[in-house]
Amino acid sequence: MNKQSLRDMKKEETWHVLARTSFELALEKGLDGFTIEDVVQRAHYSRRTFANHFSCKEEAVAMAVVSLSSVNGEEQRENVLKEVDSIPESSPVEALQHWLRMNFTANLLRKLRELVTLSKSYPTLEPYVLNVLHRLQDAAHIELKRVCGERYPQGYPHLLAGAVFGAVLSILEGEIKVRLPGEESREEADAITFDAFLEMTFGYLKNGF
């Protein structure tokens, strides 16, 4: 793996800061309650710098979730690969279940849920939310292709990842009540934990609907 240059590292850090700042302002003031100027002033950058990274504030807000999921991403990916490879004769379903548990932390799920909630109030955000979900699904798809190799039909990894991400979307949209770590005291009594949700979802996949 090639090491990043100092310039590339600074550029990436700027991207992360602008995305996180935009997301924070969206939660505080709503999407219509702040401007790009507010973002760059809080983040201590220029409007030109913002324009070099994002086309609009909606894109920056949505990409904050990608920013969160990519922190230490390469190191985390290596850990996931080691964990999955250590599972004897791991099936694609088991590998995907493990990948989700490793990657979809409580913090990431909470931010995704906040982003989806924002998009319901601000429709201009929706295309960028879909792009974020597509990026995450692509990452799962890549991992499944690695595990499946040539043992399964070409479309199998894509269909499996699509089915599971459809289930995850039901959490983000509030269709299924799921309690994340740290939410025990304020969630509905009938909500299930994320681990229980994963067990239920993958139980259906393993045993048939």
Domain finish residue from 9, 33, 63: 63
Q: For the chain, how many structural domains are there in total?
A: 2
Greatest mean pLDDT among 5-14, 35-44, 90-99, 101-110 lies in 35-44
Q: Is the overall model pTM greater than 0.85, yes or no?
A: no
pLDDT tens digits, 182-201: 776 555 667 888 888 989 99
Contacts 24+ apart (CB under 8 A), 23-28: 23/60, 23/61, 23/64, 23/65, 23/111, 23/115, 26/57, 26/61, 26/118, 27/114, 27/118
Q: Are 103 and 76 in contact (CB under 8 A)?
A: yes
pLDDT computed for residue 59 by the predictor = 97
Query: What's the CA dihedral at 13, 15, 17, 23 to 10 degrees?
Result: -150
pLDDT-based confidence at residue 176 (cuts at 50, 70, 90): confident
Both 115 and 29 in a single domain? no
Structural domain boundaries, residue 105: 72-207
Q: Convert the pLDDT of each residue in 15-61 to its tens digit.
A: 999 999 999 999 999 999 999 999 999 999 999 999 999 999 999 99
39 & 108 share domain? no
Considering the domain architecture, whether residues 54 and 92 belong to the same structural domain is answered as no
Q: Are residues 112 and 58 in the same domain?
A: no
Per-residue model confidence (pLDDT) at position 119: 95
